[in-house]
Structure formats: C-alpha cells, structure tokens
C-alpha cells in the first residue's frame, strides 16, 4: 500500500494537518474480542469491528495494521501522502461499546497509550481525549486529566452510546467540562444502534457509505434542538464527512424547525435561542474527512466560514494519495487553502505553529 516516491504530493506552503485519524491499541481489541465472543453482541458492532478484526481482505488487513501502529507504519503512510501531522483519536466505537465499568477502567489506559505515542513523535502526532459517556462524571474528570496531565486539547465521542444521545441532559456534565476546558468535541460516527440499523444493513448501507452520516448528522441535530448549545454557548463540536450533509439540509432545517416549534407538535421540540443554521456557524467545525470534493468544501466554507472548515483524511479507513493531490489543486485563495489544511487545525487543537 505504500506510494511510489514519484507520486508523493509536492512540497506546499502549508502544513497538511489531518484531523480525523484513528488508532486502536491491542488492549482494546482484546476487550473487543471478548465482547464479540458473547452471544448477544450488538449487530452494528459485530458488522463493523467484527468484520475488520477477522476479514482476510486486503482492505481489512491494511486497516488493522494502520490502526494498531503508532510508529513507523503510520509515519511512512503519512510521508507517502504528504501528511505532516495527524490528529489521532481512538477508533470507533472506542470504549462506547463496553459496559460502564470496563469503559471507565479502560479509558485512561487508551489515553495514556496515545499520549506516550505523541511524546515519541511530538512533531507528527496530536492526540484527542477519549471518554466514556457511560459515566458522565468520570468523562468530565478524564477531560480535565487529558488537558492538564496529557497535554491534549480535544475530545472524541463516537456518536451514540448504547443507543443514547448527548442531547439527553444526563450527559451534559461532559459538555460543561468540554466548554470549561476549551476542548472541542469531535462527534465521530459509530455503528448504527439496534433501533435503526436494519433497513440500512439489509442493503449494505449501514457503514461509512451512508448510515454513519445519517446517524451522526441526527446526533448533531439532536444536540442543537435540545437547547444544549444555549446552555453551553462556547462549546465547539467538530463533525466530519463534510458535516454529515447538514450544511446541505440547513435551509429546510431552519424552516421546518421554526414551523414545528410554532405548532407545538412535540414536547421534545421547545423554542431555542438560534436557528439550526446559526448554531452551525457558531458551534460547529466541519472537516472534509473522506470527501475530496472541491465544490462541497467551497460550499461549506461559504456557508459557515473559511475558519470553520478543516482537512481530514480518515486514515486508515480512507487512505488515498490521489485525494491529497486533488485537494492541493483546489482553485482557492491561498490564505483560505492554508486555513483549510493548517491554521484552522492549529487554532482548534492548539497545535504549536512553528514547523519543527
């Protein structure tokens, strides 16, 4: 899978900082193997990690090798594709598929493993803090430890936790801690919950092709309509995959949200401070992970602002050097392209600006 040197992306006047890159420590895969061995394993999890951890296909083998490595394999792949820095998160579903006790016990181990890798490769890796939403108080404490002890400045949450959403106020201690520590939350996809997977699964559409985007977009929207962003107005949420298509929905979301609130149709849909499109502009940052498409990137920059759209590759799941060439070649103002690849990520993740 390595790229011939002749096909490597050219030197460019910006650092390419890829912001949705994944890893999986063997210690977590050992826990996954125990979960997969149980009779009543979650169908979405079985179809996702059950596949990647056991398939002999070239794609699955490449992904497992990339996920497990935090040294030479990963850095070689970064060099092959011209990625200067990876912002790395515990791969989906992280600890969120585990029972509460296992998740709370394992989360600091996962974060320590990543922090150690960042210490080994401080100019190439940046870490995100994993948390266990199963225990919101423990999650809030881990955010504090991640910032103060591990030097990490962002949090990853892999969408729903056992079918529950962060729009539920029982999780808001996590939002409170993230806002207080100025750590954006990367709301990354998860396998679809049991309550929604079947129509997707029977057509093979439950994964990154479509289902992930539907479910994560729903999650982001639920956070907006819950009023959480009125309570935590400085909270920043990062969503990948061109905002899980929410920018393209924005007009109709605004219209129908206002109409639904006015009609008092749902107890769960109360008046909130802003329109959905306004929360997108004040509380969301969008990455292009897996979408190397100039028109979609420019539309999103125009909609929520060039300072809110960032580059991501989605390594190792979508590892394609052609996409880096395509993005380098975008017909875009040089300052806007630098914001996309470099300076937005430096600001959002507090990455030192100097090239080491």
Q: Give the binding site for Mn ion (CB under 5 A).
A: 20, 314
Backbone conformation region of residue 225, classed left if phi is above 0, alpha if psi is from -120 to 50, else beta: alpha
CB nearer to Mn ion: give 20 or 142: 20
Least distance from Mn ion to the Cβ atom of residue 148, Å: 27
Min dist CB 154 to Mn ion, Å, is 14
Euclidean distance between CA atoms 67 and 22, whole angstroms: 6
**Burial category of 83 from C-beta neighbours within 10 Å (exposed 0-12, middle 13-18, buried 19 and up):** buried
Which one, 206 or 314, has the nearer CB to Mn ion?
Answer: 314
Q: With CA atoms as reference, report the closest residue to 23 among 101, 80, 94.
A: 94
In sequence order, the 6+-apart residues with CB closer than 8 A to the CB of 184 are: 154, 155, 178, 236, 237, 238, 285, 348, 349
Strand 125-127 to 284-287 pairing:
unpaired
Residue 215 vs 314, nearer CB to Mn ion: 314
Shortest Å, Cβ 213 to Mn ion: 11
What b/e string do you get for 221-238 counting C-beta neighbours within 10 Å, with b at 16 or more?
A: bbbbbbbbbeebeebbbb
- Chain residue at closest Cβ approach to Mn ion: 314
Instruction: Please identify, using beta-carbon distances, which residue of 209 and 259 lies nearer to Mn ion.
Output: 209
> Which token pair is 228?
């959480």
Shortest reach from residue 92's CB to Mn ion, in Å: 7
Closer of 314 and 323 to Mn ion (Cβ) = 314
Beta carbon nearer to Mn ion, 32 or 232: 32
CB of 216 to Mn ion, least distance (A): 10
User: Shortest Cβ distance from residue 316 to Mn ion (Å)?
Assistant: 10
- CB of 186: closest distance to Mn ion in angstroms? 9
> CA-to-CA distance for 251 and 275, rounded, in angstroms?
10
Nearest one of 185, 162, 188, 154 to 172, comparing CA atoms: 185
Q: Which is nearer to Mn ion, 313 or 321 (CB)?
A: 313
Contact of 226 with 267, CB cutoff 8 Å: no
* Nearest C-alpha neighbor of 344 from the set 313, 289, 305: 305
Tell me, what DSSP letter sits at residue 14?
A: S
CA distance 254 to 299: 18
Smallest gap from Cβ 275 to Mn ion, in A, equals 28
């Amino acid at each position: 899978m390595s790229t011939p040197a002749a096909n490597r992306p050219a030197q460019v006047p910006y650092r390419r900082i890829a912001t949705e890159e994944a890893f999986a420590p063997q210690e977590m895969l050992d826990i996954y193997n125990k979960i997969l061995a149980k009779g009543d394993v979650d169908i979405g999890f079985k179809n996702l990690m059950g596949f990647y951890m056991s398939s002999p296909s070239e794609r699955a083998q490449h992904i497992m090798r990339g996920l497990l490595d935090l040294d030479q394999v990963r850095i070689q792949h970064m060099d092959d594709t011209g990625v200067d820095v990876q912002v790395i998160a515990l791969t989906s579903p992280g600890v969120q598929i585990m029972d509460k006790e296992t998740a709370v016990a394992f989360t600091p181990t996962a974060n320590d493993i990543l922090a150690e890798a960042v210490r080994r490769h401080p100019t190439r890796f940046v870490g995100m803090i994993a948390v266990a939403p199963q225990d919101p108080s423990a999650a809030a404490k881990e955010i504090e430890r991640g910032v103060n002890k591990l030097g990490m400045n962002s949090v990853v949450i892999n969408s729903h936790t056992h079918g529950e959403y962060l729009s539920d106020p029982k999780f808001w201690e996590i939002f409170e801690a993230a806002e207080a520590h100025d750590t954006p939350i990367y709301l990354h996809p998860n396998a679809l919950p049991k309550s929604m997977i079947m129509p997707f699964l029977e057509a093979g559409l439950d994964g990154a092709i479509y289902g992930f985007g539907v479910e994560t977009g729903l999650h982001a929207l639920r956070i907006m309509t819950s009023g959480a962003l009125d309570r935590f107005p400085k909270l920043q949420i990062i969503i990948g995959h061109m905002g899980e298509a929410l920018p393209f929905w924005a007009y109709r979301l605004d219209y129908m949200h206002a109409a639904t609130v006015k009609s008092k149709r749902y107890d769960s849909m109360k008046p909130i401070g802003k329109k959905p499109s306004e929360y997108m502009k004040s509380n969301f940052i969008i990455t292009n992970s897996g979408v190397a498409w100039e028109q979609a990137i420019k539309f999103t920059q125009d909609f929520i602002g060039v300072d809110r759209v960032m580059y991501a590759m989605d390594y190792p799941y979508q590892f394609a050097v052609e996409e880096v060439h395509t993005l380098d070649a975008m017909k875009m103002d040089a300052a806007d392209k630098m914001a996309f690849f470099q300076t937005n990520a430096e600001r959002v993740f507090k990455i030192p600006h100097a090239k080491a």
